[in-house]
Amino acid sequence: MRAWTFNAIELLSAHTDIYREGSRSVRRSWIPMRALVIHLLVVGISLAAVQQAIAASVAPNRELETILGKLRTNASNDQYRQIDDAVKSSPNLFDQLNRLAASGKLTEIVVLTSAAASNAPKPGPFSAWMTGTSMVFTESLLSQLTKNREYDVVYPDDILPNNTTFVLGHLAFHLNAGKVIAKPGDVSHLNDYIAAMLDQEARAYIQAWNDALNAAVQQNNDKPLTPHQIADLMFNLHYRFAFLKALRQPTDKIQLEQNGVIEENESNANAITTALKSSSLADIQ
Ligand SMILES: [Zn+2]
């Protein structure tokens, strides 16, 4: 499948600010960048027919059903609904979670109250993380994830991102990949360890984007998104900083397929890694 590097993005870098810190007025200057993203996607589509690979509809297996049943009794109705909807929004995510549940790598999804979260042991300053075979969300993150319009400009056919799908897809990647193990010894091992951690993190971002895109296609009545819908999906995503940086940085640019999919390959993982290195820590592990 064809892919395009966004080589021209840096031409706009003097005029755009794509970081999370951007103020409302600064965000308006994203418009030229959005236009460029759309332009490149349109060029792509004119060159080849769109092939959107859509996984067959799936149902929860017994193990995942048990996990969701337990969540229902332990979380509020709204929290349960938000996670259950997100799981079912993307056949790709559904499939990933079914496999994790069947293999025993995922045994529960937990929502912590703010009080419980402040006392919970966690692997870092995160609001969603894994511990053993559990996925943990804080209630405050879940509520933030429901805000899915970050971009000021509204278009009538916008498909808004499901940020909860994104985070579930991200954590699912980590659970499947397993913990990066540090080898004892010299500094070169430490460097290898950090590189392996960053690589897994980047690939978790890529799976998360692809799951959120897959959910958006479902929401679009199974129709592939148009270039401007793909651009707006990215611009409205809670975790857009990683992707927009990876489009703009001078080297190691990310490549999108014309259907918006980001292939999980070394080059794209490097692009996201470079973007993450210059970003503040995100709220997800
Ligand atoms: Zn992560």
Q: What is the DSSP string of 23-89?
A: -HHHHGGGHHHHHHHHHHHHHHHHHS------PPP----HHHHHHHHHHHHHS-HHHHHHHHHHHHH
| Cα–Cα dist 229/239, whole Å | 17
- Ligand 1: centre distance to CA 140 (Å): 18
| Cα–Cα dist 83/41, whole Å | 31
Distance of CA 106 to the CA centre of its chain: 19
CA angle, residues 189, 191, 197, in degrees to nearest 5: 105
> Structure tokens of 140?
């405050």
For 221, half-sphere exposure in the C-beta direction (CA atoms, 13 angstrom radius) is: 1
- Ligand 1: centre distance to CA 42 (Å): 31
Q: Which pLDDT belongs to residue 257? A: 95
The Cα diameter of the chain in Å comes to 57
Answer yes or no: are the C-beta atoms of 137 and 112 closer than 8 Å.
Answer: yes
- Ligand 1: centre distance to CA 204 (Å): 6
- Ligand 1: centre distance to CA 190 (Å): 19
- Ligand 1: centre distance to CA 241 (Å): 14
- Ligand 1: centre distance to CA 216 (Å): 22
In the numeric block, the tokens 């996201």 are attached to 272
Beta-sheet strands, E only, within the chain: 3-5, 108-112, 128-131, 134-138, 255-257
Domain range annotation of the chain:
3-54+175-277, 62-145
Answer yes or no: are the C-beta atoms of 271 and 243 closer than 8 Å.
Answer: no
- Ligand 1: centre distance to CA 75 (Å): 23
> Structure tokens of 18?
């794509």
DSSP-derived letter for residue 14 is T
| Cα–Cα dist 226/203, whole Å | 25
| Cα–Cα dist 265/157, whole Å | 31
Q: What are the per-10-residue average pLDDT scores of the chain (285 residues)? A: 36 33 46 67 48 59 98 98 98 97 98 94 93 97 95 90 98 96 81 94 98 98 96 96 95 94 97 95 94
- Ligand 1: centre distance to CA 155 (Å): 31
Q: Which residues contact 101 (CB under 8 A, 6 or more apart)?
A: 60, 61, 63, 64, 66, 67, 107
Q: Which pLDDT belongs to residue 132? A: 95
